[in-house]
Structure 1
Amino acid sequence: MTTHNVITTWKGKMQFESTNPSGETITINASQENGGEGEGLRPKALMLSALAGCSGLDIASLIEKMKLKVDHFKIETNADLTEEHPKTYSKVFVEYHFFGNNLNEVKLKRAVDLSVDKYCGVMEMFRQFTTVETKIHYYNTL
């Protein structure tokens, strides 16, 4: 079994520094309306970044393995937040945007489906507490 160790250290006021198992660090801070200085990343938004990053890494790997030609792609993640405390995501929307000439839409959809349904552990974790909807967009860049 692999264990991830993350250390999060209070830096004063509403700011924290958090390590990653790779040794990299990020700054976490509350918004100004919540007593922070507005610098750094917000915890719940980080969850959405983790979701997109996990799925994106899967897809990038599959694009390479399938020898697909994609100029670039991006993942847009939006989530509805509940009104009551503790505020959680009640619904998450993940949109995949692929750009390139002569995109193989069938294989790109297969790559997304494999990530969403099989490989992305963060996606599976999200499904334990919310509904996740996905959509794919293709843009021909001739």
Structure 2
Amino acid sequence: MAGHKTTTVYKGKMQFETDSPTGYKTYMNTGPDNGGDNEGMGPKALMLSSLAGCTGLDIIHVLKKMRVEIPHFEMVVEGVLTEEHPKTYHTVTLDYHFYGEHLDQEKIKKAVKLSEEKYCGVMEMFRQFCELKIGVHFITK
């Protein structure tokens, strides 16, 4: 059975260092109101970044197989938290932004759909606890 293992270490002043299974390290922290100094990502924001990273990797992989080049690609993920504790995301909006003059919009939409419906495990996990809203935007300059 496949899995992942990480180790997270308290570094002081509300900062934690966490590693990936490949050894890459990143930091998590909180703001001054909670005793931190914002020297790292917040855990909930890191979840949103994980969603973008997972689906983004899928989309680029599929587009490479389709031989589709994208000059610039961004994802904006916004989560809305519940008011009561424990505060969890009840709604997450994921907007894909593809930039370029001659984008193959049909193939890009197909790659996004494959990520959403078949490949992105993080997206499937998010669906277990929140409403997901997806938008695909094409921007020509």
Q: Which amino acid aligns with 2:51?
A: L
Q: 1:127 — aligned with what?
A: 127
**What residue in structure 2 maps to residue 63 of structure 1?**
63
% identical equivalent positions: 50
Q: Do the aligned partners of 1:69 and 1:100 also contact (CA within 8 Å) in 2?
A: no
- Structure 1 residue runs of 4 or more that deviate by more than 6 Å after TM superposition: none
Q: TM-score, normalised by structure 1?
A: 0.96
The 8 Å contact of residues 70 and 101 in structure 1, kept in 2 or not, is answered as no
- Unpaired segments of 5 or more residues in structure 2? none
Please name the residue that 2:47 is paired with.
47
Contact kept in structure 2, 1:7 and 1:18, CA below 8 Å = yes
CA deviation after TM superposition for structure 1 residue 116, in Å? 0.7
In structure 1, the gaps of 5 or more residues are: none
Map 1:1-142 onto structure 2 (within 5 A): 1-141=1-141
Q: Distance in 2 between matches of 1:4 and 1:106?
A: 35
Deviations 1:48-98 (A, max 9, x none): 000000000000101101111310100000010111000000100000000
CA positional deviation for 1:102: 1.3
**Alignment deviations for residues 16-42 of structure 1 (CA, whole Å, 9 cap, x no partner):** 100100101011111111111111110
The whole-number CA distance in structure 1 between the counterparts of 2:133 and 2:64 is 25
Instruction: Output the CA distance in 2 between the equivalents of 1:68 and 1:130.
Output: 32
